[in-house]
Amino acid sequence: MTHITLTPNIEHADDFYADLLAAHDGLTKPQSDAYNARLLLVLANHIGDPEVLKAALEAAKART
């Protein structure tokens, strides 16, 4: 089983969340979408491990 952290792992989670919202301040919807896409790619590259990335793609799927 590939290790992907799905338990709380972000220090000062509220601060990160606020930063994430702030990053979108003043952006139009297309700009925000583009920002999210760039952010996703930066984070994915940081993770690097293809197995972890696959597990993340799975974990992010909506439950039906």
Residues within the interface to other proteins (CB under 8 A): 33-34, 37-38, 40-42, 45
Q: Measured from the CB atom, is 13 or 41 closer to other proteins?
A: 41
Of the pair 13, 47, the CB lying nearest other proteins is at 47
Q: 44 — phi, psi (to 5°)?
A: -60, -40
Closer of 4 and 36 to other proteins (Cβ) = 36
Q: State the Cα–Cα distance between residues 32 and 38, nearest whole angstrom.
A: 10
Instruction: Tell me how far, at minimum, the Cβ of 13 lies from other proteins, in Å.
Output: 25
CB of 54 to other proteins, least distance (A): 16
Q: What's the CA gap between 59 and 9, in Å, rounded?
A: 15
Cα gap 62→8, rounded to integer Å: 19
